[in-house]
Amino acid sequence: MIQKYRLFPVGMFIILALLLGACAKKNPPRDEIPVIKNLLARLETAIKEENAAAIDSLIMAQSYELGYSSTSILEKIDSHLNGREFFGFGHREFFYTKSEGVVKCAVKADSADSGQPVEIILEKVGETWLIKKFDLK
């Protein structure tokens, strides 16, 4: 009977350690938020300036094999805007883990435009977040 009482605290300690470990893995560091916001700002600026080199610098090398490039991103946005200028991304929300992220936003022609939904898949390569996919919905 005494052994049961000795094992109980040890068992509870192990369960608590496992729970804390699981929670730590689910919650990525919050310091990634400004880094992801900065990536979106740089993409937004590059699209406004139609700067293909700047857009390409934000895309993963493997994404070119899947058909994602500055050319394809600019063409998708231009086809939605129908001659109007790119205003920016609106309705931004993003979710991320330690190595992957999803940005859901809308391509807007002006501040009153409801926008065309877009989903941007990000992947962290080393210490840098890069665009893996860019899909208008």
pLDDT tens by residue, 65-113: 999 999 999 999 999 898 899 999 999 998 999 899 999 999 999 988 8
Q: Please name which of 49, 22, 48, 36 lies closest in space to residue 130, comparing C-alpha atoms.
A: 36
Cβ count near 42 (within 10 Å): 15
pTM of the model: 0.77
Give me 103's structure tokens: 């940005």
CATH fold of 28-136 reads: Nuclear Transport Factor 2; Chain: A, (3.10.450)
Count of alpha carbons within 13 Å of 45, Cβ hemisphere only?
10
Q: Where along the chain do its domains lie? A: 28-136
pLDDT tens by residue, 23-78: 555 567 788 899 999 999 999 999 999 999 999 999 999 999 999 999 999 999 99
Give me 112's structure tokens: 């009153």
Q: How far is CA 127 from the centre of its chain?
A: 14
Rounded distance, CA 61 to CA 67, Å? 11
User: Taking a C-beta distance cutoff of 8 angstroms, is the pair 106, 89 a contact?
Assistant: yes
